[in-house]
Structure 1
């Protein structure tokens, strides 16, 4: 048989299924929404079957009985005695009793959606990757995917599935004992049925098995292939030749004939199969929306097999609008120079000029770009420009910017959307991806209330013109769908979940595959996360996805490891030339295309002129947890600020230390100001244990007052002291005259120094007389000979080996100024590589190395296999023995979100201490769900605590039972504060911890 020529279509009895007399295709219904009874119930047809308010997984609203009667929807449309049985349903949830959507219709809907996705949404670069993995053309790959999507739910033709709807009578079919899930049935049955349609069944890994396995994975988990040596494999697997089998074969034949019976591929690479599964899942989700099913019902259901072409035609007509409503398009390439991308930058710096000059000629396809440069050197702008160049070359013009924390992602979101507004000529979708994204006030949608538009300039994130480019559909707000937007900003966790053996990882992989992936602050990954990043880079290299890595303080071995991981996935051989060392500052570009050349920036980069950093270790005699000496040292460093003015930041290691220091400094500075006749400094406290809305408010305040925009507008305070945890060391744009920090690993200290004199080169800040140079004071123990010289909180956050090695490195530096960038790489590499830095505690270095090895092993075990192994068996990509909540992108990420509520003398619970806003315990929506306002009221007051604090206090911290059905509220726990008759507030005691929410300090925890 010639390649790509369909064989004859086998049918029971040798008959053709679709008679020409009954296959006339007529136009689909074009009735307006009001005529269909959908106006109000499905505004703009945007509600999906599984998405309620803000992407909640709430029970979908049902189609009304009035809708059914008004539109003449058949209540019990059974098929003829012979041929396809239209009483076999594919969808029934949310439909009135007795109304079921035929399986044959749903299969054709999914095929139509897959066809439209391939044509209008999947990027050209992904087209090529999948077609290459199928060893065929792009057009033929599209017809195959359409056909496979039309078979995904064929496993629903079993007694076990059809019997789930008690209102659907099963007539003329034998009962069956086995209760396999329908996706599992599809995987088993298709491996036996597809060979009859020309699919090869011989060879080491024949396409038949891969197609059956990918379709069996359409619920997010893959099933293991079971070899059957019997001459009757279907019977051996539990599928006898009965009425169910007849219907499975009839449905398979109908779908195949209607979709043109594309010839089976000779091979299927497993990585391509994973992406195809993602497309099938995406198509299934789209056409499972009740809004779409309602429109299809309104057009009438097929009564005979001859009506199926008309139904397919109607689905093809409706699906493009469905994609538009969901926000699924294809971003257009952006062209132009660096100055066109960033017109506000008059003169690009050395890094930006170098990339603009050399990167375009290096990019002949996908590749990886690693940029290492000092803090404040414009790496973000360089990365956004590079993403344009690399995305065009790879045919993947989407973008995902991954940040280490939610706070840094929020900050980046506004920068990226402002940039996209300048660069995009047509509307596009942009999502913010992290667990609390929808609380971000700039993450707007049509459902949100925006400020008055005439008061907002076009670049303001609240303006209508701005929203046109950043608006995101309700469908994209659903779980696991945000990466399908044209552009996205979020935490690195959202990308790493594609590399975990968790459910629907292929959906996230598909979302990343059409984008350039930018990972900022890559040095922030610990050993566990680094193992996941490495595995993700393996896959992105295999899938030909452009990647950009950014860092200010990256160890040279880590840099080489990341580059090698990407190139290994792309097919680079082990005996290839070694990866060159990345200069600092500098960049390196590694091509994903053979022979995988690696290019380092051709000439040294010019960097922004900076005054050398005065890195001053201040040694303090510490006794256990006594903080008196530390308090005194901090006060002495801040004395001139109180007297003469200026701005400083103090970074403490733990939340408790930050709260204590803030309280002490506030009292001391007020006394010292009175004694010297000056105004006390403004005091700010920032850490993770504030309620979400308060933390956001404080963050915006300090960025406004201490950032670059404060000085020109006269908003910079005369004197201010910010006390914080490490939360401010990354991507928060503030500029202080002095930084005081607890001892931390040297690369983190250098990151923190990036907030000191950050904008000096712009000449917009007036420094106080005492601030003659950028200065970082490091609080360190006087002793370095033993681990017990360190406070317990410090050793809990950072390995003692790194702390003591850093301390000895600073001593060796002997108060020499640190030149940025000349000395940065030497310090970062030296902390790890210098064998003489911790001579008194060699066992600590060994323990750290063993711990890193253990964490890497745990990360590798949690990750999906490298693409080479996964190409042979998709079952390896997911783990049926673990729940999605059991896998994590961060080791030891035992975090629970709590809400502090208040109980009056009658036992009623309130959200505020004034007892003016009730805790929502009953949903406001018609189906009993919680409204957007209710969910926002709760989550905006939530904050994270270690999960171990609540381990033995489940009943005491339990939420209302009604919250357990809400996807947003079910994981929230309560810390109930009792309000006495006199207004006194008493926080809960959980075991040995008493907690209370202080309006100025946040959640305080006392022994």
Structure 2
């Protein structure tokens, strides 16, 4: 029998009558094991970290293995969720902690081979002096024998022999082979001649490394380490990510200085080093065995301070009723309070099933920021110490004042002083890519050289280690774009690290309908893996088509049951709002939904719809209607599908002397302008506006205003969009109770434009709309609007000729009809042909996504990770990885600067220097406030013509960002277009004549 978990803290462990002193050096241990002097000498010379790459100090191989195992022990005590600890205890036959330390530490046993030991001539000299022969090795980088694969070769045959067959060995060896980010197939375990080491000397050394490490950790021998059960494949992926995490921590030479004398290496010493490093790095887990709430609704009433609405109660009660972790799909109208209900449900699920934190996925960066602040406020209620464990995951987080306060020690937005007490010198790379130092030997960028790890190390405050490459999801609580969830379902390097970050949490995905067909492939894949890993998931939407709800349920249950084609029909909900629950119990799939009508917090109201025929990008007719709509006061929201059209409407109103507050909001605004305008709109139109609400105001926006934009408009003018998205826009209309409105706007009204009658009455759409959404979904939306607004004509704003829509009561029916199988368009609109084109394009996009999905469909039932990275993505930057999960036209983010005599200025006028130099954080912030994403039609020109300024070479936030340098007249040529940046309009793009 092996030692118990508690024996790790003792100085001596009893192993079947053989005493192992953890403070005894590995030299003493090897002698006690009866190894020959020659083997002892050879094992004691093997290096694991070279002085050249380890802060000038050699670290012996067994020292690194023991360091990693010791880190794993601390992770068990202070980081792993109770749920995963429980699974490892099952696998380890009650010795989960010991087995976890062993499997993490054994990862680098493959370094005991000639191919690795010969990689550094200085380190190889003592190895040669011990009598080991390195021989002639294959030349060329492409022929190098990697030590991760070598480790699988060292272990596999022994595990098969000593663990009684392939069943146990078959899922463990890929964990070793894949610890540098990719899982090879079994066919890759074929070393070049001489690379692995042949003959009794090398075989004896390799056996001894495994045996000595195994004994030092606490098992009697390798057979004693045999797992009592197997993890499921998704759980193996989690474990693999935790192995990588332990390895990366133990590979930090600033925390684990080298030990070149084997007499100084012991497991006791490794434990002390790991404990100290964990404290210095401020690493920690989340809730750590969260107590059950005091009452069923306490997470809502006490922690969140809300008077629960019926839909919120339904979601939380469903979380209480589930017998095992599962999937919750909450559908409720816009403004219903779904997010707070989801956080309350997450607390219930975490407390009941042993999860340690939460990840909230949002559709965009813009929607992530307010959610981050909401989650911060929520997490503080569990204790002030949790505030520093909330990560914001997106490329512009530097501009979030709360993130800066907590993670960089800047002034807090509430005036409460600095955040974490750090020194503000945090140096972070933003590309989220790389590998650990030894990977540089194989031509990969190092992740541990990012310089992000040590600002303000020690004491209280956030763990900056989590800001490094691929580590963001490993924080206990995180809010970020949905891309981070989707990345965890891609066949990319180190996907296991991302997935491990999800597995200890409750995962909440807001606005889940926002994923298009391409992104939905990755969402479905993620749900399948999360289901198999037993991770609770909460999906939120106001406008979810029933076919998508069913697909999400089937995907999660496919993971739970470990089968590729599970279909468990979801019953028709009794009403709207509703909650669907899916889980597996005793090998049986369960899918349930709200069986009784759940009342919305507000009564449904009749919304008038009217047409405005207009497909002109200039939008003059729209501007005229807007003027009329607010002539006697009111707040109008205009949502159009094209930036050029939004700018034209704004210019028409501005230049025409509009007498009121006027704002323009779109994606071609610089980061600082966009953030400031969004905040101002929320201040004037948000739930707390009160007396600040203007008498007359117009906001012209693009799709940014479509979701997670908590504003209240009196009247909405919107370009036609697919039905679910049009309903999302309507969700900004008469949103807040108690808002005072002019008499003319007591009834909510929507004017739908961006469409005009064509030949024989068939609608014509804005070209931009058709390019984005496709003809089929627009035709069906036009048909449904016509039922409420009457037939589309070429006249001005039509009078309401239909029955209008009752919102929110009509929402689920409208969405179901929009995406159902029955035709809804009038005869002659060509709906069938549009459907065929749409289907063909959707199939093409689905096929494009399949090439990057984490697992091929036919391999889903495979029980191990072997061969998972058969053809993975080699994305080398954050933008490239985003392109894996989003199939839109590629675009480039730039920083706008202005050339002036003698140097450059930021877009806001801040002086930069002769070469664009940035000399402090404040100037960097001002400069980065000029970041924006170019329209995709300028991508080729931007890649060919733009580059960072010379003065940015040493700045992590800037050195990879192209500068869009505007000349002294405020413009520049970019390809065939002339671009400029206008303080009101944002980026203006004009095609050059000729």
For 1:225-374, list aligned pairs within 5 A: 225-226=186-187, 238-241=196-199, 247-261=205-219, 262-265=224-227, 268=230, 269-294=232-257, 301=259, 303-305=261-263, 307-321=265-279, 324-325=282-283, 330=288, 332-333=290-291, 335-337=293-295, 338-339=297-298, 341-343=300-302, 347-357=307-317, 359-360=319-320, 362-374=321-333
Distance change >3 Å, CA 383–CA 306, structure 1 → 2: closer
What does residue 36 of structure 1 align with? none
How far does residue 685 in structure 1 lie from its aligned partner after superposition? 0.8
CA contact (8 A) 2:636 2:699 kept: yes
What does residue 19 of structure 1 align with? 28
1:682, 1:190 → 2: CA distance? Answer: 67
What does residue 64 of structure 1 align with? none
Question: Is 1:808 aligned to 2:783, yes or no?
Answer: yes
Question: Is 1:418 aligned to 2:383, yes or no?
Answer: no
How far does residue 408 in structure 1 lie from its aligned partner after superposition? 0.6
Question: Is 1:579 aligned to 2:570, yes or no?
Answer: yes
For 1:783-862, list aligned pairs within 5 A: 783=757, 789-813=764-788, 814=790, 815-833=802-820, 834-837=822-825, 839=827, 840-841=829-830, 842-862=832-852
How far does residue 196 in structure 1 lie from its aligned partner after superposition? 3.6
Question: Is 1:438 aligned to 2:381, yes or no?
Answer: no
Aligned pair partner of 2:676 in 697, 700, 705: 697
What does residue 905 of structure 2 align with? 910
Distance change >3 Å, CA 366–CA 920, structure 1 → 2: farther
SS of the residue corresponding to residue 392 of structure 1 reads helix
What does residue 729 of structure 2 align with? 752
How far does residue 118 in structure 1 lie from its aligned partner after superposition? 2.0
Question: Is 1:472 aligned to 2:462, yes or no?
Answer: yes
CA contact (8 A) 1:708 1:733 kept: yes
- CA RMSD of superposed structures (Å): 3.7
- Compute the TM-score of the two structures, normalised by the length of structure 1: 0.82
Distance change >3 Å, CA 108–CA 183, structure 1 → 2: farther
Note the residue ranges of structure 2 that are not aligned, 5 or more in a row.
5-13, 19-24, 423-455, 791-801
What does residue 39 of structure 1 align with? none
Q: Per-residue CA shift, 1:553-584, capped at 9, x if unaligned?
A: 01111111111111111118768752212342
How far does residue 240 in structure 1 lie from its aligned partner after superposition? 1.9
CA contact (8 A) 2:108 2:147 kept: no
How far does residue 616 in structure 1 lie from its aligned partner after superposition? 1.7
Distance change >3 Å, CA 357–CA 470, structure 1 → 2: farther
How far does residue 587 in structure 1 lie from its aligned partner after superposition? 0.8
1:156, 1:890 → 2: CA distance? Answer: 39
How far does residue 902 in structure 1 lie from its aligned partner after superposition? 1.9
For 1:548-559, list aligned pairs within 5 A: 548-559=538-549
What does residue 591 of structure 1 align with? 583
CA contact (8 A) 2:300 2:307 kept: no
SS of the residue corresponding to residue 892 of structure 2 reads strand
How far does residue 451 in structure 1 lie from its aligned partner after superposition? 3.7
1:518, 1:192 → 2: CA distance? Answer: 41
What does residue 612 of structure 1 align with? 605
CA contact (8 A) 1:279 1:510 kept: yes
1:993, 1:355 → 2: CA distance? Answer: 51
Aligned pair partner of 1:211 in 172, 194, 213: 172
How far does residue 942 in structure 1 lie from its aligned partner after superposition? 0.9
CA contact (8 A) 2:401 2:413 kept: no
Q: Per-residue CA shift, 1:506-553, capped at 9, x if unaligned?
A: 111111111111111111111111111111111111111101111100
SS of the residue corresponding to residue 874 of structure 1 reads coil
Question: Is 1:654 aligned to 2:642, yes or no?
Answer: yes
1:251, 1:963 → 2: CA distance? Answer: 47
1:682, 1:647 → 2: CA distance? Answer: 9
2:137, 2:420 → 1: CA distance? Answer: 58
SS of the residue corresponding to residue 154 of structure 1 reads helix
How far does residue 694 in structure 1 lie from its aligned partner after superposition? 1.6
Question: Is 1:958 aligned to 2:947, yes or no?
Answer: yes
- Compute the TM-score of the two structures, normalised by the length of structure 2: 0.83
How far does residue 777 in structure 1 lie from its aligned partner after superposition? 1.2
Q: Per-residue CA shift, 1:425-444, capped at 9, x if unaligned?
A: 75351111112223211114
1:6, 1:948 → 2: CA distance? Answer: 68
How far does residue 776 in structure 1 lie from its aligned partner after superposition? 1.6
For 1:645-724, list aligned pairs within 5 A: 645-670=633-658, 680-711=659-690, 714-724=691-701
2:109, 2:364 → 1: CA distance? Answer: 42
Distance change >3 Å, CA 666–CA 275, structure 1 → 2: same
Note the residue ranges of structure 1 that are not aligned, 5 or more in a row.
10-15, 25-78, 671-679, 925-930, 980-984
SS of the residue corresponding to residue 598 of structure 2 reads coil
What does residue 712 of structure 2 align with? 735
Q: Per-residue CA shift, 1:884-942, capped at 9, x if unaligned?
A: 54552211251211111222355x33324747233875687xxxxxx755654443321
How far does residue 359 in structure 1 lie from its aligned partner after superposition? 4.0
SS of the residue corresponding to residue 150 of structure 1 reads helix
2:101, 2:235 → 1: CA distance? Answer: 15
2:383, 2:712 → 1: CA distance? Answer: 32
Question: Is 1:773 aligned to 2:747, yes or no?
Answer: yes
Q: Per-residue CA shift, 1:3-39, capped at 9, x if unaligned?
A: 9999999xxxxxx974369999xxxxxxxxxxxxxxx
CA contact (8 A) 2:326 2:536 kept: yes
How far does residue 197 in structure 1 lie from its aligned partner after superposition? 6.0
What does residue 975 of structure 1 align with? 964
Aligned pair partner of 1:562 in 546, 552, 559: 552
Distance change >3 Å, CA 103–CA 8, structure 1 → 2: farther
2:509, 2:228 → 1: CA distance? Answer: 37
1:240, 1:145 → 2: CA distance? Answer: 30
2:605, 2:502 → 1: CA distance? Answer: 40
